[in-house]
Amino acid sequence: MAKRRTAGEGTICQLPSGSWRAQVSLRGRRLSYTAKNQQAARDWIRKIQAQIEQGLTYDDDQTTLNIFLEG
C-alpha cells in the first residue's frame, strides 16, 4: 500500500502524457506545477512548503506567487 501524505503536504501524480503534476493547497486554493519527472515535482513541493513557512500567501484576488514560482 502506498504511503498516504498528511494534510498540507501536497500531492504528486503522474499524468497520461508521462509528466508529473504536483499540487499544494494554500488557504483553500490549489497551486499546481507540472514537471518532466517525479523528482522535480517533489523538489517543487519542498520549495513551495518552505516559502509557505516563510509567509507565502494570497493577497485578495491577486497572488504574490509569480515571483516564487519562476525557476
Q: What are the residue boundaries of the structural domains of the chain, listed by start?
A: 11-62
Evaluate if residue 5 carries a pLDDT over 60.
no
pLDDT at 53: 83
Evaluate if residue 34 carries a pLDDT over 90.
yes
Are 27 and 20 contacting, i.e. CB atoms less than 8 angstroms apart?
A: no
Helix (H) or strand (E) holding 40: helix 38-53
pTM of the predicted model, to two decimals?
Answer: 0.70
Helix (H) or strand (E) holding 9: none
User: What is the spatial distance between Cα 10 and Cα 32, in angstroms, rounded to a whole number?
Assistant: 10
Cα distances (angstroms) measured from residue 34 to each of 9, 43, 54, 61 = 17, 12, 23, 23
pLDDT at 2: 56
Task: Calculate the CA 1 to chain-centre distance.
Answer: 23
Mean pLDDT of 15-32: 90
